[in-house]
Amino acid sequence: MAKRRGLGGGLENLIPSAVKPADIAGADIPEGQIIQNIKISKIEPNKAQARKKFDEDKLTELAESIRQHGVISPILLAPKGDDRYEIIAGERRWRAAHKAELKEIPAIVLDVNNMTKQELEEISLIENIQRENLNPIEEARAYKQLIEDYHLKQDEVAERVSKSRTAITNSMRLLKLTEDVQQMLIDEMLTTGHARALIPVEDPELQKTLAQQIFDESLSVRDVEKMVKGLGKPKKGKKGRNKDHNLETVYRELEEELTQALGTRVVIAGDGTGAGKLEIDFYTGDDLEKITDRLKRQA
């Protein structure tokens, strides 16, 4: 059995010595570097590619850049036989080059005879992470695939992709979200911070409802954290619940009235006893002055 090579030292451990990570990132190619122009029609995407979503607008932008400047950074390929190749890293550049109607694309063909399937997958994952091409869910799924397919521990994955174990753990926790909420994160309707704040919500329907509320009301991450924390408070007796419900109704009505009167967002947070706090948003010094003037006039 061939001895496994790690990725702790970076891509240079896996890619032939003539190819350096800086070259892959688009730096000047040193003399003697083996880069070939491969016909685009002979190249196939990798079905195991971590990246599943390609933004068409950004692909169009990249295609226009390629029309003007060409493909600056070569893609990585593995030979498939019959004079065909499979993409290891660079599918986005390949798609954009195709969109730009190029016939060929610069590529580095890896010597896969001395590489394992795992090493090829790791190269693809690292290249995408370094280019920040993966959305948060794609990245989390890629880590999960490495762990499940090759029985790696999270700290081993962290070493291979040059990230902290905490970063890997936090990334994979996003997969606890429902499919609908994950899709909202992929579609950039939510930020990663919003998504993480929703992870403790175990009820799928409630999680989805809260996610939609975040998007509709443009809530901050702090707002969501407070909202989710409030869900975990112990329930009171029937009388207490009715009282809380009535207070909440009053609070929401007052919030709406004050928001209209002051021209800015107002939040009332109660503790169930009638006490609580009033939060009034302001964004500039002028905003603060206008709000205080209105409050003084009402005093």
Question: Active-site residues: which are they?
Answer: 91
The helix-helix angle for 136-150 and 179-186 (nearest 10°) equals: 120
Q: Which residues pair with 109 in a beta bridge?
A: 77
Q: Which residues pair with 75 in a beta bridge?
A: 107
Alpha helices in the chain, H assignment, sequence order:
21-24, 56-69, 91-99, 117-131, 136-150, 154-160, 165-173, 179-186, 192-198, 204-217, 221-231, 238-262, 285-298
Residue type, 270: G
Query: Alpha-carbon distance 292 to 299, whole Å?
Result: 10
218 φψ region: left (φ > 0), alpha (ψ -120 to 50), beta (else)? left
Closest by CA to 130, choosing from 73, 173, 63, is 73
Looking at the chain, how many residues does it have? 299
Q: Which long-range contacts (CB under 8 A, 24 or more apart) does 24-27 make?
A: 24/73, 24/74, 24/76, 24/89, 24/108, 24/127, 25/73, 25/130, 25/131, 26/72, 26/73
Query: Alpha-carbon distance 229 to 90, whole Å?
Result: 42
Closest by CA to 162, choosing from 192, 112, 114, 125, is 125
